[in-house]
Structure 1
Amino acid sequence: MSTLAFARAALVGAGALALLGPLTAATAVAASDASQGGARIMAAPFTVVPYETVNVRSGPARSYDKVGSVTAGEPRGAYCWVRGEAITDHGYTNNVWVKLVEGYVSAVYLKGNEYGDLPASATC
């Protein structure tokens, strides 16, 4: 292969990579497992994981409509957290609700810290 042909191939390849944008390990894993909510993970800046199956609500309280559920251990994309109805379960009480792509879940059911492992600064 000539030097000129090699240089053209390198430029074409670099252009294709620029069009694809940055690809992180998290988006690669999410993209490879769409059946586990991968598209929902890629759309949000954070990821949360419930330790048990949890209801997803349209707002941060049980009085809001149930819009779905997330299976235990299934990662979901999350945007931020907000204070809402206090939920008590397994001897733990928390009024933090995490905003997912599809609605809100109580942080009581999420692995990690009191914010479902989101940063304390990630308020809605």
Structure 2
Amino acid sequence: MTARIFARAALVGAGALALLGPLTVGTAVASSAGEQGTARVMAAPYAVVPYETVNIRSGPSRAFPTVGSVAAGEVRGAYCWEFGETVNDYGFSNNVWVKLAEGYVSAVYLKGNEYGDLPASASC
């Protein structure tokens, strides 16, 4: 009787594996890497999109170290905005910095309004 239960469990397990397909480290890593950006956007209450590749800084000023970057057109999740260093570029001037999961980006480089398309009420 024990052998029969074991055989049935083995068949169920094999069926599940057949439905899932072969799982390898490569597919697991590729899947999680591809989903990281989406998860980052989904976790934040707002989304921002830069006009060009922009540096992410650890604080709301160019004096803070760069901790990463966002490519032009890449959608990123944003949490809030705060006033910081005034940035002048492309004929625009703005002292609003938007908080992402990794740090801050100047709203001068983001599509939308002066708050990087966040609502005015979304201050940090």
Q: Same fold (TM over 0.5)?
A: yes
Mapping of 1:82-97 within 5 angstroms?
82-97=82-97
AA aligned to 1:54 is V
- 2:35 is aligned to 34
The count of aligned residue pairs is: 92
AA aligned to 1:78 is A
AA aligned to 1:40 is R
Q: C-alpha deviations, 1:32-80, integer Å up to 9, x for none?
A: x626x21210111000000100000000000101000000000000000
Q: Per the alignment, in what secondary structure is the counterpart of residue 39 of structure 1?
A: helix
Instruction: Provide TM-score, normalisation by structure 1.
Output: 0.71
Q: Per the alignment, in what secondary structure is the counterpart of residue 118 of structure 2?
A: coil
- 1:29 is aligned to none
1:56 aligns with 2:56: yes
Structure 1 segments unaligned to the other structure (5+ residues): 1-32
- 1:105 is aligned to 105
- Greater CA radius of gyration, 1 or 2? 2
Superposed CA RMSD: 1.4
The Cα shift of 1:84 comes to 0.1
AA aligned to 1:34 is E
Is the CA contact 1:99–1:105 (under 8 Å) kept in the aligned structure 2? yes
- 1:18 is aligned to none
Partner Cα separation in structure 1 for residue 97 and residue 122 of structure 2: 12
Q: C-alpha deviations, 1:77-112, integer Å up to 9, x for none?
A: 000000000000000000000000110000000000
Is the CA contact 1:43–1:101 (under 8 Å) kept in the aligned structure 2? no
Identity of aligned residues (%): 73
Segments ≥4 residues shifted beyond 4 Å: none
Structure 2 segments unaligned to the other structure (5+ residues): 1-33
Partner Cα separation in structure 1 for residue 109 and residue 77 of structure 2: 15
Q: Per the alignment, in what secondary structure is the counterpart of residue 39 of structure 2?
A: helix
